Structure 1
Amino acid sequence: MSLDNLPTLSETVKIHKLRANKTLGQHFLLDMNVTDKIARLAAPLDGVSVAEIGPGPGGLTRALVQNGAEVLAIEMDDRFLAPLDDIARASGKLRVIHGNALKVDIGKELDGEIKIVANLPYNVGTKMLINWLTATPLFWSQAVLMFQKEVAERVVASPGDSAYGRLAILAQSVCDTRLGFEVPSNAFSPPPKVDSAVIVLEPLPEAKRFRDLKLLGEVTMAAFGQRRKMLRKSLKPIAKKYGVESESWCETCNIDPQRRPETLSVAEFQILAGALKNE
């Protein structure tokens, strides 16, 4: 059997009587033009190990193996194991772990160059991204991920953008980020209430990555917790925690304490965090 002889995705869904589980954030991506486009964003894939999270009936999985990837698919819903097994037997390039991706150490499961390519479940996508950004060591060379459009915009946002905040600063302290393309809701079955978008993350050289993401996360959480207030006000709680005064802390970093958090660059937030660490 080859992939070309498998039932179409729509036929697969009918054969196995599959329905999306809303509690798991499932929406089936059945448009092969979109799945192929995602796989091409991750190219080249020949000889590359790819981790795919929540493959569902396997649309993106098919595109990845057709483009040469050796795929590890992590799926917690046992309804999808049979159609995924069909892909595994037809391609010889797929291994499936039945379990919770949050509990799988991808870096230990795969060898060689590792990429993460996934249409992430809406309800845990952000948590997974933070886990991958903070992995030590950083085991992946590229991530091509689909999120709700609003979340994707938060990852790639620049200072001054309405979506700019903690997630952009954490992601861009580890990676170059860019928006790949947007995906309308009608590409899914059933269609979600919002559009989606695919983003590409490529790790910065190790020397350019900010190492203490936990502390940076604390600083950004304080700052954007009161994003309409000036830094001298919004940073007071964390300044007190670390035994400093918010205005003098900002001034030591050559940052005007009257600025608002959305105006600071990623580098300026790193300077603030670095100064706290040295206190």
Structure 2
Amino acid sequence: MIRAKRSLSQNFLVDHNLRRKLVEALDAGPGDTVVEVGPGHGELSELLVGRVRRLVLVEKDDRLAPLLNDRWGDRSDVVIVHGDALTEDLSALAGVPPVRFVSNVPYAITSLLIFRLLDVEPVPSRIVVLVQEEVARRMTAKPGGKEYGALSIGVQTRADARLAFRVGRKAFRPVPRVDSAAVVIEPVAGIPRDRIEATRALTRAAFSRRRKQLGTILRTAPVYGLGAEEAAAVARAVGIDLSTRPEAIAPGPFAELAWRLGELCRNREGG
């Protein structure tokens, strides 16, 4: 086994039973394309080769990509991409749906990769990621808890997400300092791009002022700068009290509020 490269934040999953659980959570069938990001030595990949319509392996490591090519480069149903998933065109690599993504995500790029996967069009049928347990809990957290925040909103306004199972740190080599967990993400199709951007804008404004009440955020955030009456009207339309803090607002109302704020700002600029 090639040693993990710290610069790539690699921790290889060595527990065979847990690899099988990841594949089971992915629930890919013979009609699916599966894109695996960071396949490493191919231990997870070998459970998918020949069982799905098409398998795309995206590997950045200069040492590992040739090994994958040696194993499966002659197969017509396996595509090996020596590249960085943060810069490759994942939508083009995924091709014709249905498509599913799976990744033992390098810790250093967790949030960046998750949102890149959520940006894939057409939306994947399912995404399964193995991430730090703390991150998994933030992704799937419910409103009002200390773990609920910007990442929770960012994921849950675009997908259904659930924590599937925990993975202890000793299942990896080298052994990391923290435990991990598998998260199953099922993206929602058809969300307009301007709604996604509106939600991002409100997320940035709200969670950079986490302990502030919504009314204060809407009046003081430069992106909005609403008057008291404007803030009250837009919040009332969504059924949210201005004294509410961002961490108490559920993803659905949060996204609706973001959209209405975006519309208000666009109308203000147009007028």
TM-score, structure 2 as length reference: 0.87
Matches of 2:84 and 2:15 in 1, distance apart? Answer: 25
Name the structure 1 match of 2:249.
264
Structure 1 stretches lacking a partner, 5+ long:
1-12
Matches of 2:21 and 2:189 in 1, distance apart? Answer: 27
Following superposition, the deviation at residue 94 of structure 1 comes to 2.5
Matches of 1:66 and 1:195 in 2, distance apart? Answer: 31
Name the structure 1 match of 2:159.
175
How do 1:1-279 residues align onto structure 2 when only pairs under 5 Å count?
Answer: 13=1, 18-65=2-49, 67-68=51-52, 70-88=54-72, 93-109=77-93, 110-135=95-120, 137-206=121-190, 212-238=195-221, 240-245=222-227, 247-248=231-232, 249-279=234-264
Judging changes above 3 Å, is the alpha-carbon distance between structure 1 residues 133 and 140 closer, same or farther for their aligned structure 2 residues?
same
Which amino acid letter does the alignment assign opposite residue 242 of structure 1?
A: Y
Matches of 2:104 and 2:85 in 1, distance apart? Answer: 13
Between 179-188 and 251-260, report the one with greater CA deviation.
Answer: 251-260
Contact residue 35 and residue 55 of structure 2 kept, 8 A: yes
| RMSD over equivalenced CA pairs, Å | 2.2
Judging changes above 3 Å, is the alpha-carbon distance between structure 1 residues 139 and 210 closer, same or farther for their aligned structure 2 residues?
closer
Following superposition, the deviation at residue 77 of structure 1 comes to 0.8
Contact residue 52 and residue 73 of structure 1 kept, 8 A: yes
Between 146-155 and 67-76, report the one with greater CA deviation.
Answer: 67-76
Following superposition, the deviation at residue 47 of structure 1 comes to 2.8
Which amino acid letter does the alignment assign opposite residue 241 of structure 1?
A: V
3-state SS of paired residue (1:163):
coil
Q: Which runs of 4+ in 1 moved over 6 A?
A: none
Between 174-183 and 246-255, report the one with greater CA deviation.
Answer: 246-255
Following superposition, the deviation at residue 272 of structure 1 comes to 1.6
3-state SS of paired residue (1:74):
strand
Name the structure 2 match of 1:9.
none
Post-superposition CA distance 1:108-140 (Å, at most 9, x none): 1233311101111111121111122234x3341
Judging changes above 3 Å, is the alpha-carbon distance between structure 1 residues 235 and 147 closer, same or farther for their aligned structure 2 residues?
farther
Post-superposition CA distance 1:208-259 (Å, at most 9, x none): x785112211212221222222222334343x43342364243453321111
Following superposition, the deviation at residue 29 of structure 1 comes to 1.0
Which amino acid letter does the alignment assign opposite residue 79 of structure 1?
A: R
Which amino acid letter does the alignment assign opposite residue 69 of structure 2?
A: D
Contact residue 76 and residue 100 of structure 1 kept, 8 A: yes
3-state SS of paired residue (1:241):
coil
3-state SS of paired residue (1:212):
helix
Q: What percent of counterpart residues are identical? A: 33
Following superposition, the deviation at residue 175 of structure 1 comes to 1.2
Which amino acid letter does the alignment assign opposite residue 170 of structure 2?
A: N
Matches of 2:139 and 2:69 in 1, distance apart? Answer: 34
Contact residue 152 and residue 198 of structure 1 kept, 8 A: yes
Matches of 1:56 and 1:237 in 2, distance apart? Answer: 47
Judging changes above 3 Å, is the alpha-carbon distance between structure 1 residues 180 and 243 closer, same or farther for their aligned structure 2 residues?
same
TM-score, structure 1 as length reference: 0.85
Judging changes above 3 Å, is the alpha-carbon distance between structure 1 residues 210 and 173 closer, same or farther for their aligned structure 2 residues?
farther
Judging changes above 3 Å, is the alpha-carbon distance between structure 1 residues 125 and 69 closer, same or farther for their aligned structure 2 residues?
farther
